[in-house]
Structure 1
Amino acid sequence: MRCLRSIAIVPLLLLLAAPAGAQDAVPTQVTVRAVSNDAKLIQDPVGGAHITIEHVETGEVLAEGRQSGDSGSTEKIMRQPHERGASIYEAPGAAKYETTLDLAEPTRVRVTAEGPLDYPQAMQTASKTVLLVPGEDVAGDGITLTLHGFIVEVLRPSASDVNPGGDVPVRARVQMMCGCPTKPGGLWDATRYTIRAQLLREGAVVAEEPLSFTGTTSEYEGALSMPDAGADQVRVTATDADRVNFGMGTMSL
């Protein structure tokens, strides 16, 4: 009889030991898109973006990976008026990061994007916190994160271009963070931007001039007078303060 009572008590003890309100985890789809400010999605040709989703309270990384795909529809993103609730970024092949989280309860997460990954000198980071609810999929445009700036690459001078007391030709490529092209009068209108080249010696600016459009998409050029004392670096900056986009590229001499 004592043995039977013990057997009956065991399931009751297990039930009492179970956490109150414990629930099974529910698979929940989450879509994230990193976007270039005033432009399109951070796409594969610029390396995409690294996406991280972490639990706000514990710091645990719940998912991470690379956003991949193309820059999305120019027509939808840049030309069409956007009605409230309308899809802007969702299109076949459009860049995104997609994952499935197993959530047992409403969970506040921090979502972070860093990119463009192929241009370390241009990389920026953006993050936001979002409450996710089990079973409530985040699809379509998803959680969007905006990266501000320009990709600036110094293409010239070469070593043979640098002579003390002479002019130093400078050529640079300036693109949006998504790799979208810039030019005067274009969809990304370079007449809005200030693009300048500087010569530096030990961190101090010793010469500075604006760069002009070359006629080749996204490329700008000019010349700097090399002081007799020389310089050790060329720096090119691109700025659009009205839209909070700034970029910089450097080359050692």
Structure 2
Amino acid sequence: MGHQRPSNKLKIKQGDKKIETKIVIRAKAEDAKFIGTSMGGGLVVVKDALSGEILDKGMIKGSTGDTKLIMEKPWLRGIKLADENTACFVAKIDIDEPKLLEIIVYAPYGQPQATAKASVTTWVVPGKHIEGDGIILDFPGLVVRVTEPSAHTFWTVPNKIRLAVSVTPMCGCPVDMKTYWPPDAYEVATFIKRNGLQIEKRVLSFCGKTNCYAMEIEINEPGDYEFIVYAYDPKTGNTGVDKTTIVATK
């Protein structure tokens, strides 16, 4: 008898065709670290890309990752950026045949004024898990949050108002002299509007505290004022915006 060739057919059990398949999903800030629990994580929605059916959803949780590994070491092929504590969501879907998925992430979820949406489509095969670093979605932008003055406060004129904002990468990493995100890397300024008309643009300066930029503005005329504050990184194009308003009266 001749030598029999081994079968190259994969056996599928009848009545047990659907297989749980795991997909690790992460959100990473452009020019910074992973978006984790400290910034509210990220909401993940996994859909059938063709039918729109939601197959799984949940929150990205965990740490922002190893700073030196992400920010210092060269990114060589095959080197993992994430460790066991790095923020992720593990989607679990039951499928019986290859399926085209749409993965949507909203992050950073704890900062509504800066929350962005990123998505990707990918094929998944039953039982062929996507693990390790998994699928990483990049989030360009900066988180800008006005801390002073609070919205719709009333001031009498003439007066001096302190405008202060917090600026960070999307991961919440610290902007300071001794970090990878020095204050002078960012242009921070505000457009000032009175009664709906733009009257001037002013630059804010680093105030010496982590993430903080501030300035004093003289308000001499009554009216409804709006401050549209932006931060911009000319090297990466990362941009963030927040707003506040005051009412000035005599």
TM range, normalised to the smaller chain?
A: 0.7 to 0.9
Tell me the equivalent position of 2:225: 232
Distance 1:205 1:223 in 2: 18
Once residues 24 and 59 of structure 1 are traced to their aligned partners in structure 2, the CA distance between those partners, rounded to angstroms, is 22
Amino acid at match of 1:64: K
> Does the Cα contact within 8 Å between 2:224 and 2:245 map onto a contact in 1?
no
TM-score by length of 2: 0.86
Code of the residue aligned with 1:100 in structure 2: it is K
Q: What residue number does 1:58 align with?
A: 51
Residue 249 of structure 1, CA deviation: 1.4
Q: Which moved more, 1:150-159 or 1:137-146?
A: 150-159
Aligned residue in 2 for 1:135: 127
Instruction: Decide whether the 8 Å contact of 1:161 with 1:168 is kept in 2.
Output: no
SS of equivalent to 2:68: helix
Aligned length in residues: 232
How much has 1:163 moved relative to structure 2? 4.0
Give the Å deviation of 1:235: 2.1
Confirm whether residue 155 of structure 1 aligns to residue 147 of structure 2.
yes
Question: 2:249 aligned with 1:251, yes or no?
Answer: no
* Structure number with bigger Rg: 1
Q: Which of 193, 197, 206 matches 2:199?
A: 206
Q: Which has the higher helix share?
A: 1
1:49/1:66 contact within 8 Å kept: yes
Corresponding residue for residue 27 of structure 1: 20
Q: CA deviation at 1:198?
A: 2.8
- 1:2-57 CA-to-partner distances (Å, cap 9, x unmatched) read xxxxxxxxxxxxxxxxxxx9981122111000111111111112110000111111
Moved more, 195-204 or 33-42: 195-204
- Unmatched segments (≥5 aa) in structure 2: 1-13
Tell me, in whole angstroms, the C-alpha distance in 2 between the residues paired with 1:106 and 1:26.
11
Aligned partner of 1:172 in structure 2 is 165
Give the Cα–Cα distance (whole angstroms) in 1 for the partners of residues 195 and 116 of structure 2: 26
Check the 8 A contact 2:153/2:245 in 1, yes or no: no
Identity of aligned residues (%): 29
1:112, distance to aligned residue in structure 2 (A): 0.8
Q: Does 1:93 align with 2:88?
A: no
The structural deviation recorded for 1:241 is 4.0
> What aligned pairs does 1:98-137 form with structure 2 within 5 A after superposition?
98-137=90-129
Q: Secondary structure at the match of 2:223?
A: coil
